[in-house]
Amino acid sequence: MTILSSSLSRIKPSPTIAVTQKARELKESGVDVVSLGAGEPDFDTPENIKKAAIDAINNGDTKYTAVDGTPKLKEAIINKFKRENNLVFLKEQISVGAGGKQVIFNAILASINPGDEVLIPAPYWVSYPDIVLLAGGTPKVVICDEADEFKINAKKLRENLSKKTKWLILNSPSNPTGSCYSKDELNEIAEVLKDFPNVMIMSDDIYEHVLYDDFQFYTIGQNKIVSDRTLTINGVSKSYSMTGWRIGYAGGPADLIKAMAKIQSQSTTNPSSISQAAAVEALNGDQSFITERTIAFKSRRDFVVTSLNKVQGISCLNPQGAFYVFPSCKDCIGKKHKDLGKINNDTDFVTKLLEKTGVAVVQGSAFGLEGFFRISYATSMENLEKAVKRISEFCSDLS
């Protein structure tokens, strides 16, 4: 008999990974599936980055490294933060992990005590609440309305802060909505936090370079009010099409970074030495392809948003970043599909959509907001055209 930890009862498997796996299984069984569930760029890793990894292998750079990052990679990260974000860090303020998720996990595990609350605006990336729960903390979810572009504002933030609040998590551009916080919005948030000096801020900037419509990126750590208590998290997965290389990083308070390294020393130890060498080239090398790929993402966004807003029962905001849209299906809930019966909620909507049309998306309730669904448009225009057509046909069969 296997005895499992009771802490597992606090969490659930990642819904986005579950959808991707279900789509993969259907495809392998012969179903014509269009998978829009994975948050993974369909572009390949650039050649100069792959070459750096090959050179690292050929040069024998295949041994253990320092637990939380090689000196070369930490230097590249420091330079990136200074060059792009006007953030100044020392090497002892930099952490490198096996993906941004591990960095977040380490930070939460290193800082949460029983009774501590983590303020999480919803819609949220699916892993934030579960990581907090696994660490023994309490996720305090704050619903952010579509009218506010799914962003927390200063008033709502102040209403939900308390002596129990340990962290505020911000994600801009956002997964799942693509919404972005402006400099003014983040500065208003920082003004509120002036009155709560013990609250830490986790700024998840992983989609920093995927921006549209001349939106100017700003990260809250640039504000002097909160700069000394902000953990700024980023990585190479999205901007550099390196999801499988598993390199995330963060800059923040030295005592927190040291504690995160202590935890990592007892889990994965260092990230892959080869991936770290590739990440050095990613951060230091040619960046021009980012603009080229963002142009392609923007074209896809424009098509998806315009097309979805023509679909019966669907409405969709036009996001300024990332490669997701978060359309409402509220007008479809409660209606009946001619072949599949009543649509009871957003989970029912996406389940029946996959069953009937082979289009895989993720329900909004997985991200903390019922009545919506997430589409990742990090796929070909051909797939997007096919998917939107099938969604339209599915919704036209509702009455």
* pLDDT score recorded for residue 9: 78
**6-44+289-396 and 63-284: same fold?**
no
* Tokens representing residue 109 in the block: 């595990």
Under 8 Å CB-to-CB from 341, ≥6 apart: which residues?
A: none
pTM beyond 0.75: the answer is yes
The one-character DSSP state at 110 is: H
**Which contacts (CB < 8 Å, 24+ apart) does range 89-92 have?**
89/251, 90/254, 92/254, 92/257, 92/258
Fold of the domain built from segment(s) 6-44+289-396 = Aspartate Aminotransferase, domain 1 (3.90.1150)
DSSP symbols for 303-314: HHHHHHTTSTT-
Q: Are 101 and 202 in contact (CB under 8 A)?
A: no
Closest CA to 85 of 197, 249, 223: 223
For the chain, the domains span 6-44+289-396, 63-284
- Chain-centroid distance, C-alpha 39: 8
* Tokens representing residue 251 in the block: 């800059």
Q: How far apart are CA 325 and CA 323, in angstroms?
A: 7
Fold of the domain built from segment(s) 63-284 = Aspartate Aminotransferase; domain 2 (3.40.640)
Amino acid identity at 64: Y
Closest CA to 314 of 375, 270, 380, 266: 375
What are the pLDDT digits (tens) for 46-62?
Answer: 999 999 999 999 999 99
Q: How far apart are CA 225 and CA 221, in angstroms?
A: 9
Bridge partners of residue 204, in order along the sequence = 171, 233
What are the pLDDT digits (tens) for 192-239?
Answer: 999 999 999 999 999 999 999 999 999 999 999 999 999 999 999 999
* pLDDT score recorded for residue 22: 77
Q: How far apart are CA 203 and CA 172, in angstroms?
A: 8
* pLDDT score recorded for residue 1: 56
Q: Are 396 and 384 in contact (CB under 8 A)?
A: no
Cis peptide bond N-terminal to 46, omega within 30 = no
Under 8 Å CB-to-CB from 59, ≥6 apart: which residues?
A: none
Buried (b) or exposed (e) across 244-261, using 16+ Cβ within 10 A? Answer: ebbbbbbbbeeebbebbb
Q: Are 216 and 184 in contact (CB under 8 A)?
A: no
* pLDDT score recorded for residue 72: 98
pLDDT tens digits in sequence order for the chain, 399 residues long: 567 887 777 777 777 777 777 778 888 888 899 999 888 999 999 999 999 999 999 999 999 999 999 999 999 999 999 999 999 999 999 999 999 999 999 999 999 999 999 999 999 999 999 999 999 999 999 999 999 999 999 999 999 999 999 999 999 999 999 999 999 999 999 999 999 999 999 999 999 999 999 999 999 999 999 999 999 999 999 999 999 999 999 999 999 999 999 999 999 999 999 999 999 999 999 999 999 999 999 999 999 999 999 999 999 999 999 999 999 999 999 999 999 999 999 999 999 999 899 999 999 999 999 999 999 999 999 999 999 999 999 999 999
Closest CA to 156 of 165, 164, 145: 145
